[in-house]
């Protein structure tokens, strides 16, 4: 029998009648993410999803790392199945976990018995395996309260499984169960984190980015694509729609008061994201806005920029401090890319004194000077889609 991966389900198990559809979605996601590491059999039993190599050449370590980033899985463990006999279980534990048993100073065995026809109770099995492991590794002490190493034995229908402690995985809900949303991805720290947080709740994302060449560089565009690539192991396949934004910015600068420049620009971003969402059948927008972080993120400013869309705007980092957002950015692996210095379109024409308490009627009035529909249409026509796998 071959080493395999056990994936423990998180919130999925709370879903009652919908549970089966959650499990099916999750297994599909696992199959897709592990596919590049070889052919695996993926199946579920008793709140666990099994990922079992179906050919010799499978890269189990690669698949294990990929499973850790699949939302819906709360913990993962590598395990070795064996015959459902106490001697086979003991031999497997001795050899399979020998380096962990050698390195630890204290240990215990914890058994679970899903197969009630197995002739020993879980306690008897733990004691028997533990006693013999202690003889084989005499430097160990038994510590049932705070052992350095817990050896897990699970006796299930088809086999017994021996594994070391499971490691924490991504948690959340399977992507695809929460619908689809358009996420506004800039080159900053916040929007990749916001995207990750919403994807974690089971939402499939479409990314939109506004680029303003010649005011923004090729490197700035590449940086955003790099951030999106770094999100793929969490979010799955991503499409990034890149929208040319320079004409809109130039028109605003030419026709609107400087202190409202950023706000009006943000309304155009929301209009374009709304248009894309409707095109792609998405039901919400996602941004990395955090209350009070900058002038365009005061409560009044958020009301003004949210005024142009009837879709819910999800702002998962709204109540977070920068430090908390940075901690997540580091955890998901986007931070180092986010702090590369290239200019975002927002930093190209920044007003010296941005309005922090705008009024929506006044802003609508100012936009009378612009051909809003024409600008939106031309920007949408100029879009380019980059597919990331
Ligand atoms: P971030 O770290 O996400 O860039 P920020 O504090 O710099 O955040 P802003 O530049 O005010 O914030 O933008 C707020 C949000 O608007 C971003 O989190 C992002 O969702 C969206 N956004 C800003 N610029 C762009 C852009 N060029 N393309 C797509 N979305 C953008
Ligand atoms: Mg930004």
Q: pLDDT tens-digit profile of 375-385?
A: 999 999 999 99
- The two three-digit tokens of residue 45, written as one number: 């039993």
Confidence of residue 209 (pLDDT cuts 50, 70, 90): very high
pLDDT at position 349 over 80: no
Pocket test residue of 191, 264, 274, 337 for ligand 1, highest count of atoms within 8 A of CB: 191
In the chain, the largest separation of any two C-alpha atoms, in whole Å, equals: 85
What span, in angstroms and rounded, lies between the C-alpha atoms of 82 and 89?
Answer: 6
What span, in angstroms and rounded, lies between the C-alpha atoms of 133 and 93?
Answer: 8
Q: pLDDT tens-digit profile of 166-196?
A: 999 999 999 999 999 999 999 999 999 999 9
**Inter-CA distances, 111 with 80, 89, 128, 130, 359, Å:** 14, 11, 11, 10, 64
Q: pLDDT tens-digit profile of 64-119?
A: 999 999 999 999 999 999 999 999 999 999 999 999 999 999 999 999 998 889 99
Closest C-alpha residue for ligand 1 atom 22: 186
What span, in angstroms and rounded, lies between the C-alpha atoms of 323 and 303?
Answer: 25
- Percentage of the residues of the chain whose pLDDT score is greater than 90: 86
What mean pLDDT comes out for the span 332-353? 86
Q: Which of 210, 284, 269 is nearest to 241 (CA)?
A: 210
Q: Which of 217, 226, 269 is nearest to 376 (CA)?
A: 269
Q: Which of 324, 176, 328, 169 is nearest to 237 (CA)?
A: 176
Mean pLDDT comparison of 111-120, 213-222, 223-232, highest-scoring range = 223-232
289 lines ligand 1 (CB under 6 A): yes
Confidence of residue 262 (pLDDT cuts 50, 70, 90): very high
Query: Does the pTM of the predicted model rise above 0.85?
Result: yes
Q: Answer whether 185's CB lies under 8 Å from 219's CB.
A: no
Which ligand is the nearest neighbour of the Cα of 221? 1
pLDDT at position 14 over 80: no
Give the residue, 211 or 158, on which the prediction is more confident: 211
364 annotated ligand-binding residue: no
**Inter-CA distances, 363 with 174, 249, 253, 261, 360, Å:** 40, 16, 14, 10, 5
How many residues does the structure list for the chain? 389
212 lines ligand 1 (CB under 6 A): no
Which ligand 1 atom minimizes the distance to the CA of 192? 3
Q: pLDDT tens-digit profile of 299-326?
A: 999 999 999 999 999 999 999 999 999 9
Beta bridge partners of 206: 182
184 lines ligand 1 (CB under 6 A): yes
What span, in angstroms and rounded, lies between the C-alpha atoms of 98 and 139?
Answer: 13
What mean pLDDT comes out for the span 29-38? 96
What value does the CA radius of gyration of the chain take, rounded to a whole number of Å? 26
313 lines ligand 1 (CB under 6 A): no
Confidence of residue 27 (pLDDT cuts 50, 70, 90): very high
- The two three-digit tokens of residue 374, written as one number: 């024409």
293 lines ligand 1 (CB under 6 A): yes
Which ligand 1 atom minimizes the distance to the CA of 208? 29
Classify residue 171 by its DSSP letter.
-
pLDDT at position 12 over 70: no
172 annotated ligand-binding residue: no
Cα(246) to centroid of ligand 1, in Å?
16
Of 6-20, 21-35, 72-86, 235-249, which gets the smallest average pLDDT?
A: 6-20
Beta strands in the chain (DSSP E): 4-9, 40-45, 48-53, 73-82, 106-113, 141-142, 149-155, 160-163, 167-168, 180-184, 204-211, 238-244, 285-286, 313-314, 384-388
What span, in angstroms and rounded, lies between the C-alpha atoms of 269 and 347?
Answer: 14
297 annotated ligand-binding residue: yes
301 lines ligand 1 (CB under 6 A): no
**Position of tokens 């109540």?**
319
Confidence of residue 15 (pLDDT cuts 50, 70, 90): low
**Position of tokens 């999803």?**
49
185 lines ligand 1 (CB under 6 A): yes
Cα(186) to centroid of ligand 2, in Å?
5
Cα(192) to centroid of ligand 1, in Å?
10
Q: pLDDT tens-digit profile of 48-58?
A: 999 999 999 99
- Look at residue 19 in the predicted model and tell me its pLDDT: 84
What span, in angstroms and rounded, lies between the C-alpha atoms of 59 and 37?
Answer: 5
189 lines ligand 1 (CB under 6 A): yes
Pocket test residue of 182, 187, 188 for ligand 1, highest count of atoms within 8 A of CB: 188
Task: Report the first-to-last Cα separation within the chain, whole angstroms.
Answer: 32
Cα(281) to centroid of ligand 1, in Å?
23
375 lines ligand 1 (CB under 6 A): no
Q: Answer whether 338's CB lies under 8 Å from 284's CB.
A: no
What span, in angstroms and rounded, lies between the C-alpha atoms of 273 and 280?
Answer: 10
Which ligand is the nearest neighbour of the Cα of 305? 1
Cα(346) to centroid of ligand 1, in Å?
8
Q: Which of 221, 206, 344 is nearest to 286 (CA)?
A: 206
What span, in angstroms and rounded, lies between the C-alpha atoms of 301 and 295?
Answer: 7
């Amino acid at each position: 029998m071959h080493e395999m991966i056990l994936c423990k389900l998180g919130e999925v198990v709370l879903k009652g009648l919908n549970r089966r559809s959650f499990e099916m979605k999750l297994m599909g996601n696992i199959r897709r993410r592990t596919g590049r590491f070889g052919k695996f059999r993926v199946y579920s039993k008793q709140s666990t999803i099994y990922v079992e190599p179906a050919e010799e050449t499978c890269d189990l370590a690669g698949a294990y790392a990929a499973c850790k980033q699949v939302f819906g899985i709360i913990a993962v463990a590598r395990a070795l199945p064996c015959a459902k006999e106490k001697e086979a279980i003991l031999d497997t534990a001795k050899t399979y976990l020998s380096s962990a048993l050698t390195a630890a100073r204290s240990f215990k065995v914890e058994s679970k018995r899903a197969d009630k026809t197995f002739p020993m109770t879980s306690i008897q099995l733990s004691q028997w395996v533990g006693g013999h492991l202690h003889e084989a590794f005499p430097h160990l002490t038994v510590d049932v309260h705070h052992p350095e190493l817990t050896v897990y034995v699970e006796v299930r229908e088809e086999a017994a499984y021996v594994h070391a402690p499971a490691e924490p995985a991504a948690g959340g809900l399977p992507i695809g169960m929460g619908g689809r949303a358009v996420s506004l991805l800039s080159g900053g720290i916040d929007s990749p984190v916001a995207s990750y947080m919403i994807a974690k709740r089971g939402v499939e994302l479409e990314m939109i980015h506004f680029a303003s060449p010649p005011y923004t560089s090729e490197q700035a565009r590449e940086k955003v694509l790099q951030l999106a690539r770094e999100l793929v192991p969490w979010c799955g396949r991503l499409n990034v729609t890149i929208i040319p934004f320079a004409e809109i910015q130039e028109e605003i600068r030419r026709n609107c008061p400087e202190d409202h420049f950023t706000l009006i620009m943000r309304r155009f971003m929301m209009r374009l994201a709304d248009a894309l969402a409707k095109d792609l059948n998405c039901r919400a927008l996602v941004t990395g806005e955090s209350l009070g972080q900058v002038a365009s993120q005061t409560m009044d400013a958020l009301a003004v920029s949210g005024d142009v869309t009837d879709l819910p705007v999800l702002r998962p980092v709204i109540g977070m401090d920068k430090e908390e957002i940075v901690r997540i950015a580091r955890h998901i692996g986007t931070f180092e890319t986010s702090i590369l210095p290239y200019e975002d379109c927002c930093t190209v024409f920044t007003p010296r004194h941005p309005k922090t308490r705008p009024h929506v009627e006044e802003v609508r009035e100012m936009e009378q000077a612009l051909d809003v529909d024409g600008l939106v249409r031309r920007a949408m026509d100029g879009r380019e889609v980059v597919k990331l796998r």
